[in-house]
Structure 1
Amino acid sequence: MVAIQEPLSALLAILLLLYLMKRWWSHQRYPPGPLSLPIIGGLWRIRFGIGLNERTINKMSKQYGNVYTLWLGDMPIVLLSGFETVKEGLIGHSEELSGKGSSPYVTFIKRGKGITFSNGDLWKQQRRFAVVTMRKLGTGRKSMESQIEVDAQKLVEIFACEKGQPFDPALPIINSVSNVTCNMLFGHRFPLEDENFKELVDSIEFITKFGGSLGHILFELFPWIMKRLPGPHMKVLERTKIMLSLGKKEILKHKEELSSHEPQDFIDYYLLHIEKKKDPTSTFDEDSLDDCISDLFIAGTHVSALFMQWAILLLTNRPDIQDKIIKEIDDVLGSSSICYEDHKQLPYTNAVFHEIMRYRFVVFMGIGRQTTKDVNIGRYFIPKETVVIPDMYDIFYDPQHWETPEEFNPNHFLDKDGNFITRKEFLLFGAGARACLGEHMGRMQHFLFLTSLLKAFHLQLPPGVKELSEETVVGMFLTPKPHKICAVPRESSS
Structure 2
Amino acid sequence: MELLGTVTIFLLVCISCLLVATWSRSQKGKMPPGPTAFPILGSVLQLNPWNIPESLKELSKKYGPVFTIHLGSEKVVVLYGYDVVKEALIDQADNFSGRGSLPLLKKLLQGTGILTSNGETWKQIRRFTLTTLRDFGMGKKSIEERIQEEARFLVERIRNTKERPFNPGNYLVHAVSNIICSVIFGDRFDYEDKKFLTLIDLLEENNNLQNSKSTQLYNFFPTVMDYLPGSHQKLIENTETVNSFVLEIIAEHQKTLDPTCPRDFIDAFLYKVEQEKGNAHSEFTTETLSRTTIDLFLAGTGTTSTTLRYGITILQKYPEIVEKVQKEIDSVIGRDRSPSVADRSQMPYTDAVVHEIQRFIDFLPINVPHAVTKDIKFRGYFIPKDTMIFPMLHPILHDNKEFPNPEKFDPGHFLNADGTFKRSDYFMPFSAGKRICAGEGLARMEIFIFLTAILQNFTLKSAVDCKDIDISPVTTTLANIPRPYEVSFLPR
The TM-score, its normalising length taken from structure 1, stands at: 0.89
Partner SS, residue 259 of structure 1: coil
What is the Cα deviation at residue 217 of structure 1?
A: 4.7
Q: Is the 8 A contact 2:259 2:271 kept in 1?
A: no
Of stretches 394-403 and 299-308 in structure 1, the one that deviates more from structure 2 is 394-403
Tell me which residue corresponds to 2:486.
Answer: 484
Q: What corresponds to 2:420 in structure 1?
A: 419
Instruction: State the match for 1:360 in structure 2.
Output: 361
- 1:85–1:377 CA contact under 8 A, matched in 2: no
Decide whether the 8 Å contact of 1:267 with 1:289 is kept in 2: yes
2:33 match: 32
1:176 Cα deviation after fit: 0.4
Match of 1:44 in 2: 45
Q: 1:365 to 1:208 in 2, by over 3 A?
A: farther
Q: What is the alpha-carbon distance in structure 1 between the residues aligned to residue 36 and residue 400 of structure 2?
A: 28
Runs of 4+ in 1 over 4 A off after TM superposition: 208-213, 463-466
Instruction: Tell whether the 8 Å contact from 1:315 to 1:322 is kept in structure 2 after alignment.
Output: yes
Report the counterpart of residue 398 of structure 2 in structure 1. 397
Helix, strand or coil for the counterpart of 1:304? helix
Correspondence for 1:274: 273
Q: Secondary structure at the match of 2:163?
A: coil
* Percentage identity across paired residues of the two chains: 37
- Say how many residue pairs are matched: 466
What is the CA RMSD across the aligned residues, in angstroms? Answer: 2.2
SS in structure 2 of the partner of residue 39 of structure 1: coil
> What is the correspondence of 1:6-405 to structure 2 with a 5 Å cutoff?
29-47=30-48, 52=51, 54-211=53-210, 213-259=212-258, 262-278=261-277, 279-337=279-337, 338-405=339-406
Whole-Å separation in 1 of the counterparts to 2:216 and 2:313: 30
* 1:182 match: secondary structure: helix
User: C-alpha deviations, 1:405-451, integer Å up to 9, x for none?
Assistant: 12111111111111112111111111111111111111100110011
Letter of the 1:82 partner, please give it. Answer: G
Structure 2 residue aligned with 1:9: none
Deviation sequence 1:64-107 (CA, Å, 0-9, x none)? 21111111122111111110111011111111111111244334
The whole-number CA distance in structure 2 between the counterparts of 1:132 and 1:408 is 37
Cα distance in 2 for partners of 1:47, 1:433 equals 30
Residues in 2 aligned to 1:335 and 1:188: alpha-carbon distance in whole angstroms: 28
Change (3 A) 1:431 1:229: same
Contact 1:88 1:377 in 2 (8 A): no
How far is the alpha carbon of 1:465 from its aligned partner?
Answer: 6.6
SS state at 1:357 partner: helix
Contact 2:316-2:466 at 8 Å conserved across structures = no
Provide the secondary structure at the position in 2 that maps to 1:415.
coil
| Partner deviation per Cα, 1:145-200 (whole Å, 9 max, x = no partner) | 00011111111111101111111100000000000011111011222333322332
- The residue identity in structure 1 corresponding to 2:489 is A
Counterpart of 1:297, as a letter, is F
Aligned CA distance change for structure 1 residues 376 and 325 (closer, same or farther; 3 Å): same
Contact 2:48/2:55, CA 8 A, preserved across alignment: no
Q: Distance in 2 between matches of 1:423 and 1:429?
A: 14
Letter in 2 for 1:323: E
State the one-letter code of the partner of 1:127: R
Partner of 2:12: none
SS of residue paired to 1:77: strand
Question: Using the alignment, how far apart are the partners of 2:219 and 2:408 within structure 1?
Answer: 36
* Deviation per residue, 1:371-408 (Å, 9 max, x gap): 11122332322111100011101111111221221211
- Structure 2 portions without partners, runs of 5+: 1-17
Q: Which deviates further from its counterpart, 118-127 or 63-72?
A: 63-72
Q: Which amino acid aligns with 1:197?
A: F
1:210 Cα deviation from its structure 2 partner: 4.3
Cα 1:118/1:172, change in 2 over 3 Å: same
Cα deviation for residue 139 of structure 1 reads: 0.9
Q: Does the aligned pair in 2 maintain the 1:169–1:484 contact within 8 Å?
A: yes
Helix, strand or coil at the partner of 1:47: coil
**2:317 touches 2:466 (CA, 8 Å); kept in 1?**
no
**1:58 offset after TM fit, Å?**
2.2
1:314/1:106 CA distance change after superposition, 3 Å: closer
Q: Distance in 2 between matches of 1:103 and 1:463?
A: 38
Q: Secondary structure at the match of 1:420?
A: coil
Alpha-carbon distance, 1:460 to partner:
1.4
Deviations 1:37-81 (A, max 9, x none): 222111211239xx7265332232122211111111221111111
2:11 aligns with none
Q: Classify 1:334/1:411 alpha carbon distance in 2 versus 1 (closer, same or farther; 3 Å).
A: same
Three-state SS of the structure 2 residue aligned to 1:307 is helix
The residue number in structure 2 matching 1:451 is 452
Paired residue type of 2:287: D
Structure 1 unaligned blocks of 5 or more: 1-17
Q: CA 1:477/1:273 → structure 2, altered by over 3 Å: closer, same or farther?
A: same
Measured in 2, the distance between the counterparts of 1:463 and 1:112 equals: 44
Could you say if the C-alpha distance between residues 313 and 103 of structure 1 is closer, same or farther in structure 2, counting changes exceeding 3 Å?
A: closer
CA contact (8 A) 1:182 1:297 kept: yes
